[in-house]
Amino acid sequence: MKSDSNLEKVLAAGHFAVTGELGPPRGANLQAIKDKAAHLKGMVDAVNVTDNQTAVVRMASWAVSLVLREMGMEPNYQMVCRDRNRLAMQSDILGAAALGINTMLCLSGDHPSFGDHPQAANVHDIDSIQQLQMVTTMRDQGRFMGGAEIDTPPRMFVGAAANPFGDPFELRVLRLGKKVAAGADFIQTQCIYNMERFAEYMRQAVDMGLTEKTKLLAGVTPLKSAGMARYMAKKVPGMDVPDEVVKRIADQPKEKQAEEGIKLLCEQIEQLREMPGVAGIHLMAIEWEHRVPEIVERAGLLPRPQV
């Protein structure tokens, strides 16, 4: 094992993994984290803790990760390249590892122009692929990026994100390949609604042998309403929501749209379980943590394995 990560153990044992997500609060409210996290406990194998997502300031990802750790959960510590240079990244990784964070995710990060500090300088000292290399070098070779030796390297199970639907499509699997070459132990994808296009992506990834070198978790997000479906379809960059998916939710009366969204999600999870190369799902129930127990139950993903 490369780490003490629960996610690594679940995947290594061949289980179909389930990860969840938790967005830190916009304030120093510890209780809010605990309340949200409580819904996820025992329901998922690891919980992604987002890092200033959409470039909006929130509580530090490492701090919230530690809270989850103390609650007996496995945090997946997200780190974006937008806000830190290589010095800050490496020192944060050492601190996180020392305090029991075993899993992390390397990301570029949304551009500051989307967030609440559009005036901010954009760091991007290294990109997310170089960040992956940095973490695996720290872990496997016990060296910092600058070359110096590390006394007690951080034992991180390290992942990366992939968007199967960004453009150009032909680069999507190639770039996934670069992330695998950079040492990604696991991959979590952007939310999938276009199953056909995703299946094609997976076919290419399997053909290239990438799914033998990394564990790919397919991203899913329940559509809570027709409004949300339309927003995801039109406003979120790099998101592919087919018209029939929007229609299916919108055809329901308002009070039944959320239920239809969960039904659709369960069907998707069923399909994903059968899809070659898919090692698990990443369930991003955005501000819907309290529905996660119901969703994983109905999708037949309980109980979560104890490994």
Partner 1 sequence: MITAERKPMEEIFHSVEPYGKILLVGCNECVTVCHAGGRKEVAMLASALRMGRLKQGAPLTVDEMTLERQCDPEYAEELALVVDQYDAVCSMACGCGVQTVAERYQGLPVLPMVNTEFMGSSEKNGVWAERCAGCGNCVLGLTGGICPIARCSKRIFNGPCGGSSKGKCEISPDVDCAWQLIWDRLKQLGQTELYSQIMAPKDWRSARDGGPRRIVREDMAI
Q: Give bridge partners of residue 21 from the DSSP assignment.
A: 48
Q: Binding partner 1 by CB under 8 A: which of 4, 12, 108, 200? A: 108
Q: Binding partner 1 by CB under 8 A: which of 209, 238, 276, 300? A: 238
> Which one of 27-35, 109-117, 222-230, 262-270 is the stretch in contact with partner 1 (CB under 8 A)?
109-117
Answer yes or no: are the C-beta atoms of 86 and 134 closer than 8 Å: yes
User: In sequence order, which ranges of 99-157 are alpha helices (DSSP H)?
Assistant: 128-136
CB of 182 to partner 1, least distance (A): 6
- Rounded Cα distance between 49 and 264, Å, is 25
Answer yes or no: are the C-beta atoms of 206 and 214 closer than 8 Å: no
Q: Binding partner 1 by CB under 8 A: which of 182, 192, 266, 301? A: 182
Residue with smaller CB distance to partner 1, 75 or 183: 183
Q: 3-class SS at 76?
A: strand
Write the DSSP string, 57-82: --S-HHHHHHHHHHTT--EEEEEESS
Site size for partner 1 (CB under 8 A): 37
Q: Is the peptide bond before 303 cis (omega within 30 degrees of 0)?
A: yes
284 binds partner 1 (CB under 8 A): no
Residue with smaller CB distance to partner 1, 91 or 122: 122
- Rounded Cα distance between 48 and 135, Å, is 17
Q: Binding partner 1 by CB under 8 A: which of 2, 15, 111, 143? A: 111
Residue with smaller CB distance to partner 1, 7 or 161: 161
Q: Which of residues 78-107 bind partner 1 (CB under 8 A)?
A: 81-82, 86
Tokens of 54: 């959409």
Which residue from 141, 25, 19, 131 is spatially nearest to 79, judged by alpha carbons?
131
Q: Which of residues 117-146 bind partner 1 (CB under 8 A)?
A: 122, 124-130, 133-134, 145
How long a stretch of residues is the chain? 307
> Which one of 40-48, 165-173, 192-200, 284-292 is the stretch in contact with partner 1 (CB under 8 A)?
165-173
Q: Binding partner 1 by CB under 8 A: which of 34, 41, 178, 230? A: 178
Answer yes or no: are the C-beta atoms of 68 and 97 closer than 8 Å: no
Binding region for partner 1 (CB under 8 A) = 81-82, 86, 108-111, 113-114, 122, 124-130, 133-134, 145, 161-163, 166-168, 170-171, 174-175, 177-178, 181-182, 190, 237-238
